[in-house]
Amino acid sequence: MATVTVPKEEKTAVVTSPESTQKTVTLRIARINPPESTETKFEEFKVPVQKWTTVLESILYVKQNLDHSIAVRYSCRQASCGSCGMKINGKPRLACYTKISELESNVITIEPMNNFPIIRDLAVNFEQLFSTHKKMKPFIINEESEVNSDTKEFIQTPQDLEKFLQFSYCIKCGLCNSACPTMATDTSFIGPQGLAQAYRYTADNRDKGKKDRLKIVDQSHGIWRCHFAGSCSNVCPKGVDPAMAIQLLRGYLLGFGK
Amino acid sequence: MAERLSNREGIKGMANPTRYGILRVAYWLQRLSGLGLLAYLIGHIYETSTILNGKAAWDNMLSLTETPGGHIVLVIVIGMCVFHTGNGIRVMISEGGKGVGKPGQPEYPYRASSLNSKQRLCIWVSIALAALAMMYGAGVLFGN
């Protein structure tokens, strides 16, 4: 992405705190407003930080005190909603889950996630991720799943549960899709998020929709485009490990898995 | 314009081996060595096809490979071949769902089972074998 650094005066808020020796870091925030402008500019802001300050808190500090026009999506502030994914110092991370202190840098560069269309500044469009997720039929397919007086609840052992539990922790933050090298070049690739969800339901012994789901992933822009670079699992903030799910699903397709 | 707004990293992002650990480096090396071997194969077919033009043409082509530059190319080809084979076997086994760990309850700090020590060890062994083969090849080619 071609970028332009705007040489402008540093923006700093007057810190009224008595702690005059408080540490400050520089946030370099990408500013882009398509379709009016497709050029990315970086604006720099100095913000005071504590050792527990998260990147999201520092962005909100900027919004509150220095420049309220920065577009950022966030909600829960506790790594549960998956809204605040962005590229922080070159790597996709959740802003609410990343402490400034762990980045070990006095300059924090914040950009929108790659492989997602930009809405404005740090906010990206999740339309493709959600539509792919929906295509994976993310629900139990079982004719006997309707609850009525004649049906019993499905009984699963802890071992049955362990086969899919970790993949059900996906919060759809999109970090995996942003880190994936195949997603970087293939606009039609299902992506690690969708493929991991396909495995989550395929591994569930209550589900009877394996055939339908495998037909969806077994195509040219599907599971075979994954080359096990492991970047998706490297950035996942919830331990979902999409790379494992994809390899297990592929093993299942090849007849090695159960 | 549309591609610009989609913010895809493109080939530049795909080919960047940093940021995501040793598996991404292995992915990059596998692609690079694969392309290198493809180029070598095409060159090799061209080289051997010169025999159709007679002994003089063949000797002329062969003399190119017997220069220090030609030997360095062959040493690199040996390294690419060994790494591509070793790492390729790891990837093939992993892509069959073997050696990527077992699903379970994720525990903080959520280290991914698929990026386990066996995978990392296999990558380092492939790199080490490639380096050893390159050293042996260099010894044979430059020793004479």
Residue B127 in 3-state DSSP? helix
Task: State the Cα–Cα distance between residues B121 and A69, nearest whole angstrom.
Answer: 48
**Which structural domains are found in chain B, ordered by start?**
2-100+112-143 (1.20.1300.10)
A143–chain B nearest CA distance, Å: 27
Q: CATH fold of A127-254, please?
A: Fumarate Reductase Iron-sulfur Protein; Chain B, domain 2 (1.10.1060)
ipTM comes to: 0.89
Q: Does A240 touch chain B if contact means CB atoms closer than 8 Å? A: yes
B4–chain A nearest CA distance, Å: 8
- Which residues contact residue A185 at a Cβ distance below 8 angstroms, ignoring those fewer than 6 apart? B8, B9, B10, B11, B14
DSSP A161-221: HHTTGGGGG-----HHHHH-TTTTT-TT---HHHHHHHHHHHT-TT---HHHHHHHHSSTT
- Ordered by start, the domain boundaries in chain A are 3-124, 127-254
**A3-124 classified as CATH 3.40.190.10:** no
By C-alpha distance, the chain A residue nearest B109 is: A239
Mind listing the pLDDT tens digit of every residue in chain A (258 residues)? 555 555 554 565 544 455 556 899 999 999 999 888 888 999 999 999 999 999 999 999 999 999 999 999 999 999 999 999 999 999 999 999 999 999 999 999 999 999 999 999 999 999 999 999 999 999 999 887 666 777 677 888 999 999 999 999 999 999 999 999 999 999 999 999 999 999 999 999 999 999 999 999 999 999 999 999 999 999 999 999 999 999 999 999 998 876
Residues B65-75: pLDDT tens digits? Answer: 889 999 999 99
Q: Looking at chain A from residue 88 to 117, which residues have their Cβ under 8 Å from any Cβ of chain B? A: 90-91, 112-117
Report the 10 Å Cβ neighbour count for A160: 15
